[in-house]
């Protein structure tokens, strides 16, 4: 039996046939401008909700919400306010070092308003051991807060989160911090640290690259890539290829230099900001270094940690579908 224009669409959308699948036909006839507008609107909406290979199965609408409504779309991306496991991350190690040094009398700041030299050296003596295989860290010396950028960033995050304040040359713990740590501990503190790091702290503050703010703006898409690939150690080049397939225009944020192309500069910046100083620094992923023949010819692999799944849930499609889509995309690229 032929489906009538005003009958329910056989696709199961519960919309009228003329406003759903029939509206994709170029031979449609409309009784009014309003009817045509409604049909076009339905077609656009349907197209925006269709999974896209370039977005690894995300629809255009979901990808848009990742960029502009990451923390305001809980029906798709849920960030947990209370973690189910005890978090472990480099940033928390540094945070504990700062907080443990602040007693009821506060912690005296330097004349520049920074953390005292003794504290910086003590924290570095433990933290630096995490990066003993890194040539830079193995030779690096810390004499002040400015020499220890990870600690400096952590102090900024704690201030932005309202966990510490500086008054009359001394650092103090706030009542907000004390209340949260008393009621929820690190399981309640971490989600706040995470949100501040993603939304209020400027990732470009870490490095010498161009502003390239899109890398931070798309942090949720990076997390989505970790969801797709992160069950096993996967080359970081796979993440970068997928990112560029989804957002090729990001290369326009980088300039060509005498020694590198815009694309290579993007990949280097993405490694620095997205892997080391976001995923790894916040304890969401482990990074494996595959040393090359030359000093600066290393390759990298990355894998998600248990903390990742405790921090965020994606209410999208099954992971097997992600893998099928990804396999299809990469298979097509070989032909």
With respect to residue 185, please indicate whether it lies within any of the assigned structural domains. yes
Residues 214 and 195 in one domain: no
Alpha carbon distance 145, 115 (integer Å): 6
- Residue 131 has a pLDDT of 67
With respect to residue 84, please indicate whether it lies within any of the assigned structural domains. no
Q: Quote the pTM value.
A: 0.80
Question: At which residue do the structure tokens 């993603």 appear?
Answer: 198
Residues 197 and 308 in one domain: no
Residues 154 and 241 in one domain: no
- Residue 3 has a pLDDT of 62
Alpha carbon distance 55, 48 (integer Å): 12
- Residue 290 has a pLDDT of 84
With respect to residue 18, please indicate whether it lies within any of the assigned structural domains. yes
Total of domains in the chain? 3
With respect to residue 36, please indicate whether it lies within any of the assigned structural domains. yes
The residue among 201, 221, 236 that closes a domain is 201
Residues 169 and 94 in one domain: yes
With respect to residue 74, please indicate whether it lies within any of the assigned structural domains. no
Residues 101 and 141 in one domain: yes
Residues 128 and 161 in one domain: yes
With respect to residue 57, please indicate whether it lies within any of the assigned structural domains. no
Q: Provide the CATH number for the domain around residue 141.
A: 1.10.10
Residues 197 and 290 in one domain: no
Residues 304 and 197 in one domain: no
- Residue 208 tokens read as 């010498």
Residues 227 and 183 in one domain: no
Q: Which of 80, 71, 226, 201 is nearest to 149 (CA)?
A: 201
Q: How confident is the chain (335 residues) per 10-residue block, as mean pLDDT?
A: 64 56 54 59 56 86 92 93 96 96 95 95 84 61 91 97 96 97 97 97 87 94 96 96 95 90 94 95 94 72 97 73 48 48
- Check if the beta carbon of residue 271 is closer than 8 Å to that of residue 151: no
With respect to residue 69, please indicate whether it lies within any of the assigned structural domains. no
- Check if the beta carbon of residue 4 is closer than 8 Å to that of residue 14: no
State the residue range of the domain holding 105.
90-201
CA distances from 145 to 33, 116, 129, 150, 216 (A): 66, 7, 18, 9, 25
Q: Which of 220, 85, 205 is nearest to 157 (CA)?
A: 205
With respect to residue 81, please indicate whether it lies within any of the assigned structural domains. no
The residue among 201, 227, 243 that closes a domain is 201
Helices (DSSP H) in the chain: which residue ranges? 33-48, 60-68, 90-100, 117-127, 135-139, 149-160, 175-183, 185-199, 214-217, 219-229, 236-246, 262-270, 306-311, 319-333
Residues 186 and 248 in one domain: no
- Residue 278 tokens read as 């976001």
Residues 192 and 98 in one domain: yes
- Residue 140 has a pLDDT of 74
CA distances from 69 to 51, 220, 310 (A): 19, 10, 20
- Residue 32 has a pLDDT of 62
The residue among 162, 178, 201 that closes a domain is 201
Residues 214 and 283 in one domain: yes
């Amino acid at each position: 039996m032929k489906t009538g224009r005003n009958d329910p669409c056989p696709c199961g959308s519960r919309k009228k046939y003329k406003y759903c699948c029939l509206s994709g036909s170029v031979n449609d006839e409309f009784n009014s401008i309003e009817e045509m507008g409604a049909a076009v609107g339905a077609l656009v909406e349907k197209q925006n909700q269709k999974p896209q290979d370039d977005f690894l199965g995300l629809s255009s609408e979901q990808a848009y919400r990742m960029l502009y409504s990451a923390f305001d779309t809980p029906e798709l991306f849920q960030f947990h306010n209370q973690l189910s496991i005890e978090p472990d991350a480099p940033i928390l190690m540094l945070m504990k070092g700062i907080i443990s040094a602040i007693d009821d009398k506060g912690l005296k700041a330097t004349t520049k308003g920074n953390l005292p030299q003794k504290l910086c050296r003590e924290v570095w003596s433990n933290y630096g051991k995490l990066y003993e295989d890194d040539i830079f860290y193995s030779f690096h010396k810390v004499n002040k807060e400015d020499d220890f950028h990870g600690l400096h960033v952590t102090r900024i995050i704690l201030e932005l989160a309202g966990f510490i304040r500086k008054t009359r040359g001394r650092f103090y713990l706030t009542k907000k911090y004390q209340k949260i740590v008393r009621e929820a501990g690190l399981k309640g503190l971490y989600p706040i640290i995470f949100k501040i790091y993603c939304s209020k702290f400027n990732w470009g503050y870490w490095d010498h690259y161009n502003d390239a703010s899109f890398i931070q703006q798309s942090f949720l898409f990076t997390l989505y890539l970790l969801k797709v690939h992160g069950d096993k150690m996967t080359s970081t080049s796979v993440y970068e290829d997928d990112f560029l397939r989804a957002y090729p225009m990001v290369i326009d944020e980088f300039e060509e230099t005498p020694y590198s192309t815009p694309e290579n500069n993007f990949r280097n910046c993405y490694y620095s900001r997205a892997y080391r100083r976001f995923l790894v620094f916040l304890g969401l992923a482990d990074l494996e270094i595959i040393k090359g023949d030359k000093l600066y010819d290393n390759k990298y692999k990355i894998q998600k940690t248990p903390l990742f799944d405790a921090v965020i849930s994606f209410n999208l499609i099954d992971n097997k579908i992600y893998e099928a889509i990804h396999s299809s995309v990469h298979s097509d690229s070989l032909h």
